[in-house]
Every structure is written in C-alpha cells, then in structure tokens.
Structure 1
Amino acid sequence: MSEFTLQTPDTAPGAARALLQGAQKQMGFVPNLYANLANAPAALEAYFGLSSQFDKTSFNPVERQVVLLTASVENGCEFCVAAHSMIARKMAKAPDDVVDALRNRTTVPDARLQALSSFTRSMVKERGWVAGAPLEAFLKAGFTHQQALEVVLGVSMKTLSNYANHLTGTLTNKEFSGEAWHRPA
C-alpha cells in the first residue's frame, strides 16, 4: 500500500497552504483528512467549498450533522464518523441519543431526524436512485424537494471525504479519539 504524506501548513503545495493554515488557526490542529487532501490542492479546495455550500442549506446544524454522520456511517468512514460525532455533540448540540443512534444504525428517537437519516441512507445505498416510498416518507416528515437536493449536496461532500479517507488510510486525530468508531466487519 502506498503511503500518502500528511501535509502541514509548511509542507503542503502552495495552493493548499493557506487552507491548512486557516484550519490550524481555527481549530488548533490540522485534521488528518485535510492533511491528506492537501496532496491534491483542488480536492482540498473542493471539500472546503462543498462544506461552505452545505452550511448555507435550509437544514439547521443538527440536521446537517445527521446527513453527514449518516453518510459517513453508511460509507464505513471511521475518521468522518469520529469527527462528525464530536461536531454533532459539541458544536451542533445534537442530543447524545440521536448521535448514538446514528453511529449504531438504530432508530433515531426523533421521528423527523429519523426520516432525514433514512432518506440519506437510501441516497447513499441507491447512489441517488431514490424515488417512491423513501422520497414520499421524507416529504411526509415535513421536508421539501429543495431539501432532497440539499441531501445530495451533503452526500457529495461526504463521498469526497469518505473515499479520500479510504484511499489514504486516514487515521483519526487524537482530538477526535473520544468519538472513535470502527466499521462493522
């Protein structure tokens, strides 16, 4: 297996340096996902761009984390499940029972969030070929056609990061280790 270089703000290719510097300043560390994506500055820029756009959707912070965490669990991304579990709990203030249910693929205790998670899971599993009952259940829960497309945006963001993490073998930063998760065998 080829080893990918974990880039730093000092070693990253020029176009990625400022992004890593910004992450370090904002978070106090550089997440390993970013350090690996920096090997392809366009990929790092794309991830940051998708993240910024997803933050502009009509979903509230908890709903956004439901989409991101569900997609990451479905894709078996250990790094992203740990990172988004921490973000969901500490930054978005998602209830612990919601985060735990998403991580464990059990029923989310909030029916609306369960509908969002189920639709997101269907979107990932079916590679976008979601219509009929899954879409109707999503809409019946009070979501809109606009939000169905916003789920696609969130899944796109996580597909980029999940697949990059799989390819590079991204290890979970110690800052996320309290939320470590291992994909089922």
Structure 2
Amino acid sequence: MSRVNIQQVQPAAYQAMFGLEGYIAKSTIAANLQEMVRIRASILNGCQFCIGMHTEAATKLGESNERITALASWKESTLFNEKEQAVLAATDEITNISVDGLTKETYTNLGMFFSEEEIAQLIMLVALINTWNRIGVSMAG
C-alpha cells in the first residue's frame, strides 16, 4: 500500500508550512547556519530527502563538504566555532526534546551569541525542520 501524499491530499497543510518557511527566511539567522541546523536535525531524524536537499543548499551557500560531513559528529569536530556549537547543541536538544528539554546550560550559551528574538527564530527553525522531517519520514514508508 502506498503512503499518503500530504501535499496532494491536504495542500492547505503544506501552505501553512510554507508560511513558517517565509517567517524563517526573514529571520536574522545566517542562511548557511540555517542550512547546517536543517542538516543536523535531518541526520538525527533519519530524513534522507531533507539531508540531500539541505546539503545541496548549504554547498551553494559556500559550506564545505568537510563541515557538512562533520555535522554527524559535530561534538568531536574542531570545524565549528563556539557560536555554531551552541546552535548545534540547541538543535540536538530541541530535536530530542523528550530527553532533557532545552537545558539551561544550552539556552544560556545561545544567549551569549543571540538576542531573544534570534533565539525565538532559532527555536522556530528547529521546530520547522523537525516537522518537515516527520512528514517526510512518515510518507516515505
């Protein structure tokens, strides 16, 4: 049995998702960092479609294959600066929210690099890619 194609069956749901994409596009989070967040969350969620799509986008924005590949084990990598590490830690914790939530330490680290508005944008970005991942993986079967 083939899986439902939500975009065809419920196009209004996709339009709502694209509304959030428009919000994120206007955020002050750098485009390359947004793509790194999208790739990392997609790795954690096992969404091959999103990994491929956002790897291509990150490459077009100038990200190296070495850094993109290192996202799988970013904690052991020296390729990411403190700001990027703070974002990746938040991405991991928000993606795996049921484990420990977004910890005080990680949230405090974000505050060293981002305003409250940007932290809100980052949380929405991670929530958005997690939703896309869940839709993609659910339909892939």
- Is TM-score (shorter-chain normalized) higher than 0.5? yes
2:93·2:103 contact (CA, 8 Å) conserved in 1? no
Q: How many residues align?
A: 137
> Residues 103-118 of structure 1 correspond to what in structure 2 (within 5 A)?
104-106=72-74, 107=77, 109-111=79-81, 112-118=83-89
Does residue 96 of structure 1 match 2:95? no
> Residues 1-185 of structure 1 correspond to what in structure 2 (within 5 A)?
2-4=1-3, 36-90=6-60, 92-102=61-71, 104-106=72-74, 107=77, 109-111=79-81, 112-127=83-98, 129-140=101-112, 142-169=113-140
Considering only aligned residues, what root-mean-square deviation do their CA atoms show, in Å?
2.1
Q: Name the CA shift for 1:74/1:108 in 2 (closer, same or farther; >3 Å).
A: farther
Which runs of no fewer than 5 residues in structure 2 stay unpaired?
none
Q: Name the CA shift for 1:150/1:108 in 2 (closer, same or farther; >3 Å).
A: farther
Q: Name the CA shift for 1:108/1:167 in 2 (closer, same or farther; >3 Å).
A: farther
1:34-88 per-position Cα deviation (integer Å, ceiling 9, x unaligned): xx52321122112211111111111111111122112211212111111111111
Amino acid of the structure 2 residue aligned with 1:98: R
Q: Name the CA shift for 1:108/1:74 in 2 (closer, same or farther; >3 Å).
A: farther
Indicate the structure with greater helix content.
2
Work out which of the two has the higher radius of gyration on C-alpha atoms and give 1 or 2: 1
Task: Compare 105-114 and 158-167 and name the one that shifted more.
Answer: 105-114
Identity %: 20
2:94·2:127 contact (CA, 8 Å) conserved in 1? no
**Partners in 1 of 2:35 and 2:89 — Cα distance?**
14
1:94-149 per-position Cα deviation (integer Å, ceiling 9, x unaligned): 232221111x2333612122221111111111259313111122223x12222221
**Partners in 2 of 1:37 and 1:156 — Cα distance?**
19
Could you tell me how far 1:5 is from its partner in structure 2?
A: 5.9
| Matching residue of 1:182 | none
Which runs of no fewer than 5 residues in structure 1 stay unpaired?
7-35, 171-185
Q: Name the CA shift for 1:95/1:136 in 2 (closer, same or farther; >3 Å).
A: same
2:37·2:91 contact (CA, 8 Å) conserved in 1? yes
